Structure 1
């Protein structure tokens, strides 16, 4: 299953966070928001279909997130979990840890904000549009 959404960079994107990265529907972020890489997202987890949420919450769900701007692309792999609520109205967070809350899309990710491609981050600091593709594969 695949879902695509568009978001934008922001002058305050620093991409320094060591355990997460986030996309938000909020149009603005402050200088301390070191995990947020995309703002003004056209979708939040509340917009995900029930079928898509069900795929993410299967115990065997493997999730790939592809972030792309006009000059760069990066892929992040992680996992879903049966306890993920997937109900936050503004934030989509990918985590290296196994922490679960309403903002969490995937856990045990192989990258956080600080690990993302530097050209991608530079594009985002300049306010470029970013496409976010979320692909869910079940091993069954």
Structure 2
């Protein structure tokens, strides 16, 4: 199962957060949002297909998130949880921890914003288009 959507980078992307990364539908961000790697997303958690949401709510489901720009890519692997509501209207957050809230897509991720490919982060800082693929 696969879901693909687009977002954009932003000149305030710093990718310094050590425990999460986020893609949001918000159009703007400030430097305090050091987990945000994509803005102006054309999808959020509420948009995921019901069948995918059901799979993500299984703690044994391995979730792959692939982030791609024209020059670079990275893949992050994490897990689902029965605690995930997957209904936030604007945000999608991947977490290293087991913490869940309405913004959480996956937990126990193997990477956070600070771990992402530096070439990918540079593309995002310059506002390049971000392709996000969620694979179950």
1:122 alignment partner in structure 2? 122
Q: How does 1:123-138 map to 2 (within 5 A)?
A: 123-136=123-136
Q: 5+ residue gaps in structure 2?
A: none
Measure, in 2, the Cα distance between the counterparts of 1:95 and 1:8.
20
SS in 1 for 2:122: helix
- What do residues 76-127 of structure 1 show as CA deviations (whole Å, max 9, x unaligned)? 0000011100011100000000000000000000000000000000000000
Matched pairs, number: 136
Q: Which runs of 4+ in 1 moved over 2 A?
A: none
* TM-score computed with the length of structure 2 as normaliser: 0.99
Shift of 1:59: 2.6
The TM-score with structure 1 as length reference comes to 0.96
Q: What is the RMSD computed on CA atoms of the aligned residues?
A: 0.5
How far apart, CA to CA, are the structure 2 residues paired with 1:87 and 1:106? 13
* 5+ long unaligned stretches in structure 1: none
